[in-house]
Chain A
Amino acid sequence: RKEVEQDPGPFNVPEGATVAFNCTYSNSASQSFFWYRQDCRKEPKLLMSVYSSGNEDGRFTAQLNRASQYISLLIRDSKLSDSATYLCVVNLNDYKLSFGAGTTVTVRA
């Protein structure tokens, strides 16, 4: 079983729509959680950390459910510039990040 699993999508949504997707992780001892964004043929960049209480950063909301071992990301009022692959990332220990395969989001005009 993969350490982090994501729905690959693609999620095709119109501008202004809300899109949400989840990922699940297998190791209950995982310490911290992140969403990274990766544009086509570019490096991953941190979008936001995910906290147990849930957190927002502008139009982006992340939630963590430790009991069910899943993480979610919601994007409100989608923009064309939100088109990217969103990588769910779990930090197992001090050094190792485990990445999901990514969820592709395409926002159309």
Chain B
Amino acid sequence: DTGVSQDPRHKITKRGQNVTFRCDPISEHNRLYWYRQTLGQGPEFLTYFQNEAQLEKSRLLSDRFSAERPKGSFSTLEIQRTEQGDSAMYLCASRQPLAGTYNEQFFGPGTRLTVL
């Protein structure tokens, strides 16, 4: 499978614990995005990377959230001291370098987080 992959697919944790998710983008895609989706809502932008540089972070990304893409390939999203409000689907997407106006983002299957 050459699509975007995410691990784990499901995570159940207790409030106050730290969790880390991984995203492996499509190999030639230099842009990587993280989104959060709650029930009944569309995905909300969290942050994005171009290669290893984190270029933008949403105000949704509190100081308990940190994302990295150390070698410009896979990315991790860590949530510290999880809260019940963090329960959501965390989606990763990647995109090839901009070519004209074509800018489709390809999404991974997501990591569903449940905080008890």
Contact = CB atoms under 8 A, between A and B. Distances in A.
B97 to A, nearest CB: 11
Contacts, number: 46
B85 interface: no
How big is the A interface, by class? 20 to 34
Contact of B45 (A32, A98, A101, A102): A98
B105 A97 contact: yes
Contacts of A42: 109
A46 B42 contact: no
A44 B31 contact: no
A51 to B, nearest CB: 10
A44 B107 contact: yes
B45 A96 contact: yes
Q: Which size class do B's interface residues fall under? A: 20 to 34
A99 B35 CA distance: 10
Contacts of B91: 43-44
Contacts of A46: 104-105
B interface SS class: loop
Interface string B15-56: 000000000000000010100000011111100100000011
Interface in A64-109: 87, 89, 91, 94-102
A106 B17 CA distance: 39
29 contacts: A4-B42, A8-B40, A32-B103, A34-B104, A42-B109, A43-B91, A43-B107, A43-B109, A45-B107, A46-B104, A46-B105, A94-B98, A94-B103, A95-B31, A95-B48, A95-B56, A96-B45, A96-B48, A96-B56, A97-B33, A97-B45, A97-B105, A99-B43, A99-B44, A100-B42, A101-B40, A101-B42, A102-B41, A102-B42
Given A96-B48, A97-B105, A98-B45, 6 more contacts: A32-B101, A43-B91, A45-B107, A95-B31, A96-B45, A97-B33
Interface of A: 4, 8, 32, 34, 42-46, 87, 89, 91, 94-102
Q: Which 7 A-B pairs have the closest CB atoms?
A: A99-B42, A43-B107, A95-B48, A99-B43, A46-B104, A101-B41, A101-B42
